[in-house]
Amino acid sequence: MSEDIKFDFADDSIAQAYDDVLVPLLFDPWTTKLIHENEPWSSRYVLDLACGTGAVTKQLLNQVTCTGKVFALDLNEEMLAINKAKFEELGCDDVIEFIHASAEAIPIENNTLDIVVCQQGFQFFPDKLKAAEEIYRVLNKDGKLIISTWLPVSECEIFGTLCETLETIEEEELSQLIRLPFDYMPKEELKQIFTKAGFNIIEIEKQKMDLYLQGGVEEAIAFIHSTPIGLKIKGLPKEKQEALKRIFKENVKIINGTNFGKMVTYVLKARK
């Protein structure tokens, strides 16, 4: 893979498309599951690490109540700005704080937080051990960590079809790019990182959920255009764009018109 190809959300239009399409269709259902399975949140001090445009932030804010607090941290200014704008008129300043910073240098004091949540962000951190050490540092004694990372595209079916389609039209670099959030965070490596960081109670569970797109295959096309490679896909020659749509539509798995197969994630839970 070329060193020049990067997976990011730096373009404003990608960040907005991510929030408009991927968050409600993909991330909101997973967030609801995460919040429900890890109750209670009331009165907790919680860090939403790699908060993006706020799928987790929003639901956390509804749970921590006025005696808790949510810290929403992201390195990407465009994503953080979209997240912050959602709360500016709600008078939430006492219970939410937005932080523009790296996960490898969290500007929060030692032993401050009850819970750190990182939904589908940890796999992007350049220095994962340093990020894990920072998470350990900011957690209170017996503080809780919840991390989710996707399994390979072979198990996250719509993305597997997208990768295969890109390879068929000889766009291997784009295929490798979309694999980055999925194929490069093995379970044992994930556990090893947090063991080295000092966590001694670590559990990793494999969770599955169907991906429903009520608009069918046309919504699936909008879905892939809303990923961080969306602009790169739209920048392809017209004939390649048409070939991608045709081949993707021919091969994507659809059940009953709206079910586009499984999304599968590891959920790591650890205690300090």
* Confidence (pLDDT) at 94: 84
Provide the CA 204 distance to its chain's centre, in angstroms: 17
Those residues whose C-beta lies under 8 Å from the C-beta of residue 9, and which sit 6 or more positions away, are 15, 18, 52, 76, 78, 79, 228
What structural domains does the chain harbor?
12-156+183-214+264-271 (3.40.50.150)
Provide the CA 258 distance to its chain's centre, in angstroms: 22
Those residues whose C-beta lies under 8 Å from the C-beta of residue 85, and which sit 6 or more positions away, are none
Q: Sorting pLDDT into bands at 50, 70 and 90, what band is 4? A: very low
Q: Where are the alpha helices (H) located in the chain, listed in sequence order?
A: 12-17, 28-37, 55-64, 77-85, 128-138, 157-168, 172-183, 187-197, 216-225, 230-234, 238-251
Widest distance between CA atoms in the chain? 58
Q: And the tokens for 80?
A: 């953080």
pLDDT exceeds 50 at position 5 = no
State the Rg of the chain over Cα: 19
Cβ 137 vs Cβ 160: under 8 Å:
no
Nearest to 120 by CA among 60, 72, 49, 59: 49
* Confidence (pLDDT) at 17: 86
pLDDT exceeds 90 at position 66 = no
- From CA 109, how far away is CA 107, in angstroms rounded? 7
Per-residue pLDDT, averaged over 114-139, amounts to 97
pLDDT exceeds 90 at position 53 = yes
What pTM does this model have? 0.93
Across 90-99, 124-133, 164-173, 235-244, least confident range: 90-99
Average pLDDT in the chain? 93
Q: And the tokens for 244?
A: 């991608």
